[in-house]
Structure 1
Amino acid sequence: MHRLTEPSQYKLKEDQDITVIMDKSSGLQHRGCLSPEGTLREIQINLLECKVCFEMFNSQQRERRPQNLSCGHVLCLECITALSHPLLRKLECPFCRQLCSVDSTSHCQALIDLQELLLSSAPPRRGRGGVIPARGLTCASLHLRTVFGSWGSFINPTGIAVLGSSGTVVVVHDGEKRVMVFSLQGKKLNSFGKRGKTPGEICYPVDVAVTPTGYVVLTDAGDKTVKVFTSRGNHMLTVTSSFQMPWGVDTDSCGHILVSDVLAGTLSRVKVDYNHCVVLEHQTTISDLLGPKAVACCQMTGNTAVMEHPTEVAHPTERHQYRRLKVFSKDFHLLYQIDGFSLMLQSSVRLNMSAVVFDRDGDMIAIDSDQGLICSLAKLQSGPVLTPLVGDRLIRPVGLALLNNMLIILDGGDHTVKIYSQKPDTGLVI
């Protein structure tokens, strides 16, 4: 999996006579994989929006005008003013950390010209990824309630979970304190898991889950372990045996830990005595998986879903990754499986699944990180019914948690948490 080494912002680069979009931190070029309409939409989201305040650039409003910093990154004038020292008139670029002078900024006319060009020729609005939203719980009926995080708060976040009915949000990322705990309003409540390899420290967190009794469980690919903490950050237990590369993690209704191993091709169940901080049983329940990553357990039925990445095992350099979703019973017998190609035959929507979760009714909700899309699959045993839920203002969703009728989405594209619901709540400020 590609991980950014620093917060990134998209920039235009001229490649002979072809304009391409380039990720500064990784050098990855994105072209030829989207429809013309999708490309225009990506430009609007990734180039014509200030990545600090998430407001669209606007030459008619002075505070929203795009300004070039001396390092080359672009912010709106209001954010430059807010981030700069009032006396020294200098600011640290939120993307590359270079010290820039306010007096050396300049108006970015190229983005304004591009914006006017796109607005004058833009096709009718559709759901992101070229999807026309279905009726019911759709992009149009879900509202963005809250956004929190952004550069500096999270560094390359990879996993999210919700702690109990209170809705406390737990995020793992690559910062100095690897686990961050927030309220639904975005207020930081706690952080723990110092970077390191000693007991209680965390090297490279990949995924996180929360047990029914409130313990925080995460996979650490750095030292190939599973670690358990209290919600206050006290280290309780490290599971070290039998893992080659632990990846996805979830817990069942009994608090048993379910862990995928992307290198070993296994799904394991770990039974823990949380009161005495000991492992009671570590059992490999499935051993013939291909590149298993995301794991989700249905609290109602006990079924477990695993997302396979077969091409990453057989052809690790393959550009277009093939993914397959398998669902197992609580006794770990295969119930059904489906892949992106099969979904495409049953629906006009192209969905390249990267992770799934179960809602409280046992329906499945899938993440498409590539298109920035969240879709409901309903109940697969009755045949998937694909319904787009969210495609607005998402860049690269990497994690999803559910609380009542809210979707709590971890967006690795702009390092934020975004909360969507059917009814906007005026008590929460976006």
Structure 2
Amino acid sequence: MAKSPGLPHRGCLSPDGILREIQINLLECKVCFEMFSSQQRERRPQNLSCGHVLCLECIAALSHPLLRKLECPFCRQLCSVDSTSHCQVLSDLHELLLSQTPPSSRSPKASLFSSTGLTRAALHLQAAFGGWGTLINPTGIAALGSKGTIVVVHDGEKRVVVFNVQGRKLHSFGRKGSATGDVRYPVDVAVTTSGYVVVTDAGDRAVKVFTSRGTHLLTVRKSLKLPWGVDTDACGNILVSDAQAGTLSQVKVDYGHGVILEHQTVISDLQCPKSVACCFGNGNIAVMERPTKTGKYQYRQLKVFTEDFDLLHQIDSFSLSLTATVRLNMSGVGFDRDGDVIVTDSDQGMVFSLGNLKDDRPVLTPLVADRLIRPVGTVLQNNTLIVLDSGDHTVKIYSAEAISSHFV
């Protein structure tokens, strides 16, 4: 039977959820992100000898022209082009779903969106780049400047990768290792308004600051047990959560001289705080807590603080589930330009807006569900929503324009 590069566990799914999983994980080539098709020769699904499935065009692109061999991008097994075979079962499944699905329902979740503003519009996939090899188990994303440059941390040989808006890799740095300037286990990344890149290194229990070109500037270690989420405020101050100590720290830095001016704990008694986000518009700070799992349910809690670190609002995933038609399992947090809170749900593969949380009850609005597997981070830039998807190791760009193009 054909293998998927890795089907995520979803628990009990609805019929619509099962169809969505089939479309995303079985009927799409995980190299070029195009749908398999028996009608187009280059899009025909082909079995490799290792069991994984690629489209014919990608097999031709990845194979050596003379040796007629390729390395499987998922399991690294060496496969012969001559030993590939047409995956008839996926072709038949594709045709069956097309014949049974009404045209009006082939865009899942479209009816969940209303029509005004970025966080109230149906967002469409515009581009996807990265993929296994370019990115390996990515964990954090941030925007560098206002021209669409993206910084991603992952498990590659060089841990920090910089892409332009077209998805072309510009450069990378933060070599895997234990020397000064190396990164052992990156978890999250943030970028200051002046362009300095801040990385949390859980393997080294430190926060490391680099220039935009990758020159190591300084390392923050004091009082950190397990640094996790990181963001910066409008003044360039670093906000970092400590999942083991249960704290949020603020680090003030003189970037010009590479000197730490002040390092203080600003919020304590948090329960395994991980994702952190700061809104440049109003200065609010959001922290996602992930307490120890109890039973089968992973309890998540979101707290929003003012810029002076006073608690403004808090809500947990269970309470949200009581007032919504979906069971939201929050995993990451961010803000849009209006101060609305945006959360990812890595279990369902969706991105939601919670509104500005000024009222007692959040306004839960689905933003993105199209072709997401395991979103772990978001960036809002130039009226587009950029999502880091660790499920297929990609960066995906969404906007309200109904145009879809793919860069790999």
In 2, Cα distance between equivalents of 1:85 and 1:58: 24
1:351 equivalent to 2:332? Answer no
Look up the equivalent residue of 2:105 and give its one-letter code: R
Q: Which of 77, 81, 87 is the equivalent residue of 1:98?
A: 77
Q: Which of 142, 156, 173 is the equivalent residue of 1:161?
A: 142
For residue 83 of structure 1, what is the aligned residue in structure 2? 62
Aligned pairs for 1:223-372 (under 5 A) are 223-312=204-293, 315=294, 318-372=295-349
How far the C-alpha of 1:85 sits from its partner, in A, is 1.2
How far the C-alpha of 1:252 sits from its partner, in A, is 0.7
For residue 15 of structure 1, what is the aligned residue in structure 2? none
1:318-360 C-alpha deviation (Å, 9 max, x unpaired):
5431111000111111111112222233332332111111111
In 2, Cα distance between equivalents of 1:197 and 1:424: 46
Look up the equivalent residue of 1:411 and give its one-letter code: D
Look up the equivalent residue of 2:78 and give its one-letter code: L
1:379-399 C-alpha deviation (Å, 9 max, x unpaired):
112231111111111111111
For residue 166 of structure 2, what is the aligned residue in structure 1? 185
TM-score, length basis structure 1: 0.88
For residue 125 of structure 1, what is the aligned residue in structure 2? 105
SS at match of 1:81: helix
Look up the equivalent residue of 2:357 and give its one-letter code: L
For residue 11 of structure 1, what is the aligned residue in structure 2? 3
For residue 18 of structure 1, what is the aligned residue in structure 2? none
How far the C-alpha of 1:126 sits from its partner, in A, is 7.3
Structure 1 pair 294–185 and aligned structure 2 pair: CA distance change class (3 A): same
Is the 1:131–1:349 contact (alpha carbons within 8 Å) kept by the matching residues of 2? no
Is the 1:138–1:390 contact (alpha carbons within 8 Å) kept by the matching residues of 2? no
Is the 2:127–2:404 contact (alpha carbons within 8 Å) kept by the matching residues of 1? no
In 2, Cα distance between equivalents of 1:60 and 1:126: 19
Is the 1:69–1:100 contact (alpha carbons within 8 Å) kept by the matching residues of 2? yes
How far the C-alpha of 1:428 sits from its partner, in A, is 8.7
Look up the equivalent residue of 1:142 and give its one-letter code: L
For residue 6 of structure 1, what is the aligned residue in structure 2? none
1:112 equivalent to 2:91? Answer yes
Runs of at least 5 residues in structure 1 that lack an aligned partner in the other structure? 1-9, 13-21
In 2, Cα distance between equivalents of 1:121 and 1:40: 11
SS at match of 2:199: strand
Aligned-residue sequence identity (percent) comes to 69
Q: Which of 40, 64, 67 is the equivalent residue of 2:43?
A: 64
For residue 3 of structure 1, what is the aligned residue in structure 2? none
Is the 1:145–1:429 contact (alpha carbons within 8 Å) kept by the matching residues of 2? no
How far the C-alpha of 1:266 sits from its partner, in A, is 0.8
Look up the equivalent residue of 1:399 and give its one-letter code: G
Is the 1:176–1:195 contact (alpha carbons within 8 Å) kept by the matching residues of 2? yes
1:199 equivalent to 2:191? Answer no
Is the 1:145–1:421 contact (alpha carbons within 8 Å) kept by the matching residues of 2? yes
Is the 2:270–2:289 contact (alpha carbons within 8 Å) kept by the matching residues of 1? yes
Aligned pairs for 1:29-68 (under 5 A) are 30=9, 32-68=11-47
RMSD (CA atoms): 2.3
For residue 354 of structure 2, what is the aligned residue in structure 1? 377
Q: Which of 406, 409, 414 is the equivalent residue of 2:384?
A: 406
In 1, Cα distance between equivalents of 2:57 and 2:16: 30
Moved more, 149-158 or 138-147: 138-147
In 2, Cα distance between equivalents of 1:31 and 1:125: 22
Structure 1 pair 132–60 and aligned structure 2 pair: CA distance change class (3 A): same
In 1, Cα distance between equivalents of 2:92 and 2:400: 36
1:206-225 C-alpha deviation (Å, 9 max, x unpaired):
00000111100010000100
Structure 1 pair 176–405 and aligned structure 2 pair: CA distance change class (3 A): same
1:153-207 C-alpha deviation (Å, 9 max, x unpaired):
1011000000111221000000011100111111211111111111010000000
Is the 2:189–2:197 contact (alpha carbons within 8 Å) kept by the matching residues of 1? yes
In 1, Cα distance between equivalents of 2:160 and 2:311: 34
Look up the equivalent residue of 1:244 and give its one-letter code: K
How far the C-alpha of 1:119 sits from its partner, in A, is 3.5
In 1, Cα distance between equivalents of 2:98 and 2:217: 55
Q: Which of 202, 206, 209 is the equivalent residue of 1:221?
A: 202
1:18-37 C-alpha deviation (Å, 9 max, x unpaired):
xxxx948xxx7x36421122
Is the 1:293–1:306 contact (alpha carbons within 8 Å) kept by the matching residues of 2? yes
Is the 2:121–2:400 contact (alpha carbons within 8 Å) kept by the matching residues of 1? no
Is the 2:125–2:403 contact (alpha carbons within 8 Å) kept by the matching residues of 1? no
For residue 209 of structure 1, what is the aligned residue in structure 2? 190
For residue 17 of structure 1, what is the aligned residue in structure 2? none
Look up the equivalent residue of 2:255 and give its one-letter code: Y
Is the 2:305–2:312 contact (alpha carbons within 8 Å) kept by the matching residues of 1? yes
In 2, Cα distance between equivalents of 1:378 and 1:90: 52
Is the 2:113–2:122 contact (alpha carbons within 8 Å) kept by the matching residues of 1? no
Is the 2:143–2:381 contact (alpha carbons within 8 Å) kept by the matching residues of 1? yes
